[in-house]
Amino acid sequence: MDFVSGLADGFSVVLSLQCVLSIIVGVVIGQIVGALPGVGGSAGMALLLPVTFGMPPIPALMLIAGIMYGSQYGNSLSAVLLNVPGDSSSVMTALEGNMLARKGQAGKALSIAAVSSFIAGVAATLALAIATPILSKFALKFSAPEYFLLAALGITATASLGGGSAGKAFLAAAFGSLIALIGVDPISGETRLTLGISNLLDGIEFLPVAIGIFGVAEILVSLESQMKPVVMPAKLRDLWPRWKDFVDVRWSIFRGWMVGFLIGVMPGTGPTVATFLTYAVERRFARQPEMLGKGSTEALSSVEASNNSAATGALIPMLTLGIPGSASTAVLLAAFILLGIRPGPLLMVQQYDLVWGLIASMFVGNVILLVLNLPLAPLFASLLKIPYTYLASGILIMSMVGAFATTMNMFTVGIMLFFGGVGYILIKAGIPRAPIILALVLTPIMETSLRQALTMSRGSLSIFVSRPLAAALLLVVLATLILPLANMWLLRRRHAATAA
């Protein structure tokens, strides 16, 4: 089978000293940034992007990908020990895991979370290895009209499937598209939205926007909240639960993996949506549903499996179609582009060793994380005892250095700080930030593909309905636009009926 030979070639690439070291560094950093409240996987990846400058592409991408799935493990540490989710995707982990910690079962909670993440991560990576070549062959049928509609789908799906207010999500996506249009028009050479500022002629770099909106904004909010959590004890000898505890949650892990992977493959959803849906499924199928909210090991294992599985599943649309499935894969897509690699249908052909090496590295990374996660859990927990004021100072300095390194221009640092303020306002207003990042990455693809499509059809919009694949995608895009409006209408009718 193709995926077996591909994995064999991938492991031959991974088992070099530079690649193994990149994986280890990536997953350890991911574990740390995932455990630190106010940082998270997306911000950690954005902060470390400058480190990859000058590195060969394969080890560089392994390092950034290691941060991505390593942070999913790290999120559980602060969630269980402090009841402070390191990321929005670990909210359900905090709900159940911290209740177990309060009962003196922090070791059991951390162990079950780690093992569930490992099993789901390996299973999801295997599914990724099987599905990626199949979807890549299918995606070879795509041309400019399909790429335009796929990019549009990546943005509209964020609003319709991402939960929360669809109007706010669309507003955030429009803002991201506006940022992406700043600079010089690639066709006419006219300046756009530069306000006469010469530093904006080349547009706004992705990295300072991502660091500002995710990293700096979270620092501001965390400092404002004056968090003073009580650290739960977690001794090494208490970290191993009984074998029966793992047997009891085996079906919960399977359900979490299934839901997480299916949701992760859908553009615009990601681990946060997956964990909430998984929790709802677990409420229906758990052996002891009455324990949910009181420290359920079934719910904890299920949401942790879903979290890791969704993060891996989101790589499928990114690798095969060039459409990021989550905020983390949007940052990973930026890493590809910064290294001169464009994900899409031809990636499996043009960068065969890179794709299979990246997939194989995820197997290795998950094993390393399992080996590291349990013995080092007390050490990671001790990091959380550091006053957040000191942590925030270090993170902010690292953010400024990372932003400056992208262009060697202090103007970029100013851009980062500006978007840090923008991100703070967005958090306060309840406006999601992921659509901004997705739109910032996808808008250039949309613009280029739209112009190519209209050139192919000599200006006729009929090309979007005359091609079967394009017509099907157009229907899906329209559905993602109509669905939020229909939900709002139904919600208003329900409120009106209740009031009557």
User: Does some domain include residue 93?
Assistant: yes
292-336: per-residue pLDDT in tens?
Answer: 767 777 888 888 888 888 888 877 777 777 777 667 777 888 788
**Which of 33-37, 78-82, 438-442, 476-480 ranks highest by mean pLDDT?**
476-480
pLDDT at 406 > cutoff 70: no
Whole-number pLDDT of residue 380: 55
pLDDT, mean of residues 212-239? 62
User: Does some domain include residue 475?
Assistant: no
The backbone region for 238, taken as left when phi is positive above 0, alpha when psi lies in -120 to 50, beta otherwise, is alpha
User: What does the block give as tokens for 220?
Assistant: 């501001």
What is this structure's pTM?
0.62
In contact, 377 and 110? CB cutoff 8 Å: yes
What is the number of domains present in the chain?
A: 1
Give the closest residue to 430 by CA, choosing from 253, 168, 202: 168
User: Does some domain include residue 437?
Assistant: yes
SS (H, E, C) the chain: CHHHHHHHHHHHHHCCHHHHHHHHHHHHHHHHHHHCCCCHHHHHHHHHHHHHCCCCHHHHHHHHHHHHHHHHHHHHHHHHHHCCCCCHHHHHHHHHHHHHHHCCCHHHHHHHHHHHHHHHHHHHHHHHHHHHHHHHHHHCCCCHHHHHHHHHHHHHHHHHHCCCCHHHHHHHHHHHHHHHCCEECCCCCCEECCCCCHHHCCCCCHHHHHHHHHHHHHHHHHHHHCCCCCCCCCCHHHCCCCHHHHHHCHHHHHHHHHHHHHHHHCCCCCHHHHHHHHHHHHHHHCCCHHHCCCCCHHHHHHHHHHHHHHHHHCHHHHHHHCCCCCHHHHHHHHHHHHCCCCCCCCHHHHCHHHHHHHHHHHHHHHHHHHHHHCCCHHHHHHHCCCCHHHHHHHHHHHHHHHHHHHHCCHHHHHHHHHHHHHHHHHHHHCCCCHHHHHHHHHHHHHHHHHHHHHHHCCCCCCHHHHCHHHHHHHHHHHHHHHHHHHHHHHHHHHHHHHHC
User: Does some domain include residue 425?
Assistant: yes
User: Does some domain include residue 473?
Assistant: no
**Which of 74-78, 177-181, 284-288, 443-447 ranks highest by mean pLDDT?**
177-181
User: Does some domain include residue 100?
Assistant: yes
Range of the domain at 82: 2-462
The residue with greater pLDDT, 245 or 48, is: 48
User: Does some domain include residue 300?
Assistant: yes
d(CA 81, CA 78): 5
361-377: per-residue pLDDT in tens?
Answer: 888 888 888 887 766 65
pLDDT class of 230 with cuts at 50, 70, 90: very low
pLDDT at 474 > cutoff 80: yes
98-153: per-residue pLDDT in tens?
Answer: 777 777 677 777 778 888 888 888 888 888 778 777 766 665 666 778 778 877 87
233-280: per-residue pLDDT in tens?
Answer: 445 455 556 667 677 777 888 888 888 887 777 655 567 667 777 777
User: Does some domain include residue 485?
Assistant: no
d(CA 407, CA 499): 57
